[in-house]
Structure 1
Amino acid sequence: MANHLRFFAIHAEDVERAKAFYEAVFDWRITPWGPPGFYLIQTGPEGEKSVGGALQQRHEPVTGTGMKGFECTVGVDDLNAIIARVEAHGGAIVMPPYTIDGVGRLVYLHDTEGNRVGAMQYDPAYAAQFF
C-alpha cells in the first residue's frame, strides 16, 4: 500500500473565522460533523475524490507547548489569485513567491489562526510525473 496523505487537521482559536478563510481562499467545502465546532473538510469538487481533513478548536496539551505538526502545501492553479485571496480574507504572506526550478512557484502564508501553510503552483511537467 502506498503511503499517501489521506487526512489532515487544522487547529484554530476561532473555528468560524478559520472556516471562512479556507472556504474563501481554497474553495474547500467545510461541513459540520460531530460535536459543536468540529468540521469535515473536502478539498476537491463535489463528487470527486480528494484529501479529507478536519477543522477543530485548538486544544493546548498539559505541557503548554501547543500543537506540534508538520508542513503541508496546497497545490493551486493560480498562485497570484491565491495570494490576493489570502490577503483579502485576513491571512498574511510570510514568504513571497519563490521559484523552485523544474517544480513550480511557492509561497508560505499564515492563516487567520497563525498556522503556516504552503501554496504551490506546480510546473505542469513536474505535476504530470507525480500527480
Structure 2
Amino acid sequence: MAVNLAHFALNADDIPTSRAFYEKVFGWSFVPWGPPGFYHIRTGAEDAPVQGALQQRRELIAGRRTIAPECTFTVEDVEATARAVVAAGGRILMDRFTISGVGHLIFFEDPAGNAIGAMQSDADAE
C-alpha cells in the first residue's frame, strides 16, 4: 500500500518572525486555526493545495525539540499503521488522536529517529 504526503508542519519558537519570513521568501499566506500559535499555510495550486501549518515548536520525541519539518502521510487505517510501525522496529510517539472533522492521527519514530505522522482522514471524526 503506497501512501502520499498529506500535510507538513514547520515548528518555530517565534511564530511572527517565521510567518513574516515565509511570506517574504515563498509568498505564502497564513490563516489562524485551532490553538493559539497555529496557522494553516496557504500554498500550492488553487485546485490542488498543499496542506501545511506553522506551529509553536514542540517535542514529539521527549527531550528533543523538533527542529525539522514534520511530515504526515495519508493512510487507510491508522491502527494498522501503528501496528506495522511497531512490527518494523519503530516506536509510537503519540497514540491515536482524533481531530474533529479531519480524522485520526498518530506520530511515530522511525529507526533513524525521525518523527513522522500518519493520518486516517475522516470528515465525520469526533
Q: TM-score, normalised by structure 2?
A: 0.47
More helix by share: 1
